[in-house]
């Protein structure tokens, strides 16, 4: 098991999509839990990629290929992570805020919410406040899930909440926020209804915001 996890870790770190696919497939065939693969190999690999970038050993192209290898692995885990409960739990509009192209964490949050029977309307990345507003309005979603990975794009979460207020929609939708630089204190400061540090806690938060 350690060998398999370390091949997945290495494949993502090196941005080797084919090796990541093969290693994750092998791990699933060996009946390793999707969550074990994610938490013990894939997420630590992305963490290390971030560290290497900070140290100046990796540059944007290395981050990009690592992200692709990660997405390949995630797509194989998705069927395991999305074994949905039966009763529909509510509708969620989700997206990464304006100016921000990071979507791996947001995708993971969406997958886990889907697994908890939420209906997801995923707007993708670099989503301006007005698109969030429009989607909430047309879908009648009860929850808005905002992700940001850059300190420079965190203020766009606040702008999105303000845009909801201006459109008269703030009372209709609960707003949850998350992403590596986001904190509970920041969430409170910008008037969000909740913050979750990771995907599984995002599910718990979504359920509690829905009164479940």
Q: Are strands 194-195 and 174-178 parallel, antiparallel or unpaired?
A: parallel
Task: Give me the least distance between CB of 211 and ligand B1M, in Å please.
Answer: 18
What is the distance between the alpha carbons of residues 203 and 6, in angstroms, rounded to a whole number?
A: 28
- Tell me how far apart the alpha carbons of residues 203 and 209 are, in angstroms, rounded to a whole number: 10
Q: Closer to ligand B1M at the Cβ: 29 or 205?
A: 205
Instruction: Give the binding site for ligand B1M (CB under 6 A).
Output: 43, 46-47, 49-50, 53-54, 60, 63-64, 67, 99-106, 108-109, 145-147, 149-151, 176-181, 196, 198-199, 202
Walk across the sheet containing 194-195 and list its strands.
Answer: 118-122, 90-96, 143-147, 174-178, 194-195
Which one, 47 or 166, has the nearer CB to ligand B1M? 47
Q: How far is the CB of 108 from ligand B1M (least distance, A)?
A: 5
Shortest distance (Å) from residue 15 CB to ligand B1M: 10
Q: How many residues does the chain have?
A: 212
Rg of the Cα atoms in the chain: 17
Residue 26 or 68 having the CB closest to ligand B1M: 68
**Nearest distance in Å: CB 161, ligand B1M:** 13
CB 86 within 8 A of CB 34: no
């Amino acid at each position: 098991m350690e060998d398999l996890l370390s091949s997945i870790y290495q494949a993502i770190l090196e941005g080797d999509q084919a090796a990541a696919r093969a290693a994750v497939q092998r791990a699933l065939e060996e009946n390793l839990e999707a969550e074990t693969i994610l938490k013990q190999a894939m997420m630590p690999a992305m963490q290390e990629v971030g560290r290497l970038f900070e140290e100046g050993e990796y540059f944007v192209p290395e981050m990009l290929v690592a992200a692709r290898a990660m997405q390949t692995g995630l797509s194989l885990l998705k069927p395991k992570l999305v074994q949905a409960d039966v009763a529909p739990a509510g509708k969620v509009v989700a997206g990464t805020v304006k100016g921000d192209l990071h979507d791996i964490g947001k995708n993971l949050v969406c997958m886990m919410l889907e697994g908890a029977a939420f209906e997801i309307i995923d707007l993708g990345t670099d989503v301006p406040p007005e698109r969030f507003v429009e989607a909430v309005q047309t879908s009648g979603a009860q929850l808005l899930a905002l992700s940001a990975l850059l300190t420079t794009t965190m203020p766009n979460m606040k702008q999105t909440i303000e845009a909801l207020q201006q459109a008269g929609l703030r009372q209709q939708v609960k707003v949850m926020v998350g992403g590596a630089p986001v904190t509970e204190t920041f969430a409170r400061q910008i008037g969000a209804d909740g913050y979750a540090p990771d995907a599984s806690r995002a599910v718990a938060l979504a359920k509690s915001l829905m009164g479940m």
